[in-house]
Structure 1
Amino acid sequence: MDTWAAVFLLSHFLFTSSVQSAPTPSLPPAFQETAVRANALVEKILKILPAAHSATISIQGLSLDSSTQTSNLHLMEPSLGVPASPFLKQPSAHFTLDMCVSRMLAGVQMYQDLLEVLSTSLSGLEDLRSDLRDLLTHINKMKEVAQLEGDGSDQNPSLDLVSGLKDSYRVQVAAHLTLTQLRSFCHDLIRTFRVLPSYGAAGAR
């Protein structure tokens, strides 16, 4: 069994188990199946992120795990125009399935757009862009099969990244910050997929 198949089967097992133990009404089967595929894609994205970072960033000493230098570089975010990820919260009476899926969509779309801009100056981001495009398709299908209306969060804000990319160094810093934030957002997505069954059909219309 290859790694991709193993990840898919494990994701399916974990998601199905959590659905079976959830006390709330179950989500549509098509939603659950699509969520499993989307979760597997997020796992894949996390695995290829280090290679994408290595292929695009040549600033010495800068890696996905160089937290000290990254903290200093975050000071450049306002001038670079790198936006923050949408915040994904635990389910509650005030944070519905509608809101959750809308923010998932907004985040994936935002990173796809950021990588598209960065790809005009850097190579090595093609696989990430392709996987994010597929992930966006899966999350849109989740929204469709659960008949979610959205809360406006999936409307992607305009990006001002291009005006901040004035030289090679700033391009690479923007790419580093984007990939670092994307990794954190992917971890948030995985945690969210695990608790999706607890939303039940509360957010459906």
Structure 2
Amino acid sequence: MHLFLELHLALCVLSLVSPAPIQEPWKDMQDPEFQEAVESGHSLIRKILDDITELHNLWIPKGLSLDKKDSSKLKFLKTHLNLPEAPAIKPLSDSFTLGACLSQIATGLKLHQTLLTVVSKLSPAKSEMVDGLLCDIRDLLLQVRKMQDLKNLLSKPEPQPVSESQLEETLAPKLSDEYKKHVAAHLTLLQLRDFSQEVSRTFRSMTVPSNSGN
């Protein structure tokens, strides 16, 4: 009887300390190379978020803040400019798979590359002010491509949301004065900041604890 109780207690203890099995959709993310790519991507997105704040401080007048709520005038201009928006990134699930998630991230990064390039060209900013941020976006896109490649998810490139020439042709007539140009730059950085925060949360959710695969 005592032996049976001791065995039962031992099994209970083991069930408490044994790691839970990896559930979908995280079970495909356990390998060290993919986790290393996730960490590299997370480091880049943190750098991008820092760059956005620094660039906004250098480029945008103080009346336009990343932290203030939009005024009615700014909301009107946002509607008027109608900047293309990045796709939403939903939490990973059986219906929103790793492949879909990485594809959405890549699409959003390409969109913001185009937006930032065109807006900086049309707005009163020196090109070198945005070069660093564009390089970081490019590096993160390459990292996402690596993650896709590691999981054989890169079947074909995502469609380009909008071309630089199309966006410039659409946007240039709307930026009739310096204030509107600054608003376009502000809204671009604000949208990139929000998108980057979504990407950061997604990368955190992709991180598998080191003992989970044991």
Give the match for residue 34 of structure 2.
31
Q: Which residue of 1 aligns with 2:58?
A: 55
Report the AA paired with residue 35 of structure 2.
Q
Alignment partner of 1:103 is 2:108: no
Unpaired stretches in structure 2, ≥5 consecutive residues: 1-19, 209-214
Unmatched 5+ stretches in structure 1: 1-19, 199-205
Instruction: Output the CA distance in 2 between the equivalents of 1:39 and 1:127.
Output: 17
Conserved in 2, the CA contact under 8 Å of 1:86 and 1:103? yes
* 1:7-65 Cα distance to aligned partner (Å, 9 max, x none): xxxxxxxxxxxxx974342424332211211110111111122210011112x421111
Separation of aligned partners in 2, 1:137 and 1:181: 21
Where does residue 188 of structure 2 map in the other structure?
178
Aligned to 2:206: 196
The CA distance in 1 between the partners of 2:178 and 2:148, in whole Å, is 39
Distance 1:164 1:93, change over 3 A: same
Partner of 2:78: 77
**1:183 CA displacement:** 0.9
Alignment partner, residue 16 of structure 2? none
Change in 2 beyond 3 A, CA 1:74/1:139: farther
Deviation at 1:197, TM superposition (A): 5.4
Q: Is the 8 A contact 1:114 1:161 kept in 2?
A: no
The question of whether the paired residues in 2 share the 8 Å contact of 1:90 and 1:192 is answered with yes
CA offsets per residue over residues 137-188 of structure 1, 9 Å max, x none?
Answer: 1111111111114698x32312343443333221110110111111111110
Q: 1:14: which partner in 2?
A: none
TM-score w.r.t. structure 1 length?
Answer: 0.76
Larger mean CA deviation between 22-31 and 141-150 belongs to 22-31
CA contact (8 A) 1:105 1:139 kept: yes
Change (3 A) 1:96 1:72: farther
More divergent stretch after superposition (27-36 vs 90-99): 27-36
Q: Distance in 2 between matches of 1:37 and 1:162?
A: 36
Note if 1:164 corresponds to 2:174: yes
- The question of whether the paired residues in 2 share the 8 Å contact of 1:22 and 1:197 is answered with no
Matches within 5 A, 1:8-19: none
Question: CA offset at residue 76 of structure 1?
Answer: 1.9
Q: Comparing 73-82 with 114-123, which one deviates more in the overlay?
A: 73-82
| Aligned AA (1:126) | D
> Which residue identity is paired with 1:91?
L
Work out the number of aligned pairs and report it: 176
**Partner amino acid for 1:45?**
I
Cα distance in 2, alignment partners of residues 106 and 185 from structure 1: 11
CA 96–161 in structure 1, closer or farther in 2 if over 3 Å, else same: farther
Q: Tell me, yes or no, if the aligned pair for 2:145 and 2:154 is still in contact at 8 Å.
A: no
